[in-house]
Amino acid sequence: MSEPQVAFQKSSWFADCRPSDAYYEWITAKSDSDLQWTANGFDTYGKTLKALSDIFAWKQSDAVLENVGILSYSECLRRVQSLLDFVGLHDSKLCKAMRDSFENLSLSARARFMMAPETVYRISALRKEAKESIVALVGFLNAETACGDLTAGRPGQYWTALGDFYYADGNLCPAAEHGQVRWVADQSFCAPKLAGTIPIDFFSPNVAHAKETTLQGRRNYDLELSPEEKFVICERLADAYTRIGEVSEAAAQLIKQFVRVIVPVKSPSGWGSTSKRSFPGRIMLQGVERVRPAKIAAALVHEAIHQLLYVLEYVGRFVIIEPKDRVRSLWSGRVMAVDNFFHACFVWYGLANFWALARNSSAFDSDHVRQALNECLLGFRGENPIDVLKRHPGCVRGDALAIADAFQSRLSDVMHTIAA
């Protein structure tokens, strides 16, 4: 299958290039009431848990996913209120300025600011990193204010919390020209986007912060991508996302709804993806420029599953007590925390269902599909993965454990087909 080109705008880039609002306009319109979570949260949480088996079997579950989106929106709004309360205790003048700035934003701009992974983290870090967090958050608010009217000529230079737009009192820098992705620091800049809405962040200060908080200590974690490699990454991400949609529109929609920003990074060798609960919605991808589409697609689906679970855990963490003893993955053989193992059960279940669907599509090479499916099913053959967790009673929520306990049986038909 030929790889489609990323649809970068060039001659009309300044006129049409603005921060992405589509998802945030949609979720704002849907979030006029969160009563199902505030008034009947336990029941809503239980119904959502039960739906995960179908969601990660890639059955259309629009109403459930909409409710999870509303949970994310309302929780982030409450965190912004706690931010303003905290600032007000120490500096009433700054608090008023921040509150006025936030309330004067459009509804979608408010959602962009408060749901950005970097905002979520900065608010959670207020007590231990107060100065750094408040400086960053004020800058994010200024960026959204400036982006609200690009023709106003507001002085200053600001990055948005999503890292998708840099406002500077200069001309707009085209993101892609002549097979390269570049940014000139004294020019406004709009980041390339996956699926028209997910920023691919190469340049904002959030990239350095992502490496510092996630990759520090790893060998050569601070290598730089070339402009040509950045362009190739955008092409490959767009290609992989297109192929995902050909296999499952539900999987493509999950990515679009729960991945807020993609941070590609360079590594000297290998390939991988990672995300953190403290930055819900931010995924980091290594080695995109040199791996086949099936690997990139698996990473996007894999990380999207994590992001949905992170949001659902706003209501209550799945792992209540992390035991001292670690467990061995039935898929990779790595020793890991119970929390990571439990999330992995959902991820491998979702990926197994995705690759099972891919057998009926020409989106990916059939050998790659067969190999990927066997890798996903590896941990479901033999003992039930949840039996590993039952050796640590009381560590995992019973209702969540019951849902994951059924994954093996739900995959039995796929495993029998593969065996045949």
List the chain domain ranges.
Answer: 13-316, 317-420
Identify the pLDDT of residue 182.
Answer: 83
Q: Is 345 exposed, middle or buried (0-12, 13-18, 19+ CB in 10 A)?
A: buried
pLDDT, average across residues 319-329: 94
- Better pLDDT: 171 or 162: 162
H or E stretch covering 166? strand 165-167
**And the tokens for 52?**
């995960």
Identify the pLDDT of residue 7.
Answer: 40
**Sequence letter at residue 418:** I
Identify the pLDDT of residue 404.
Answer: 97
pLDDT, average across residues 33-62: 90
Identify the pLDDT of residue 308.
Answer: 98
Identify the pLDDT of residue 39.
Answer: 73
Identify the pLDDT of residue 38.
Answer: 78
Residue 10: pLDDT band by 50, 70, 90 thresholds? very low
**Each residue of 121-148: pLDDT tens digit?**
999 999 999 999 999 999 999 999 988 8
Q: Where are the alpha helices (DSSP H) in 153-287?
A: 205-210, 227-247, 249-258
Q: What is the mean pLDDT of the chain?
A: 90
Q: What is the share, in percent, of the chain residues with pLDDT greater than 90?
A: 76
**Each residue of 348-377: pLDDT tens digit?**
999 999 999 999 999 999 999 999 999 999
- Better pLDDT: 119 or 419: 119
**β-bridge mates for residue 196, sequence order:** none
0.75 exceeded by pTM: yes
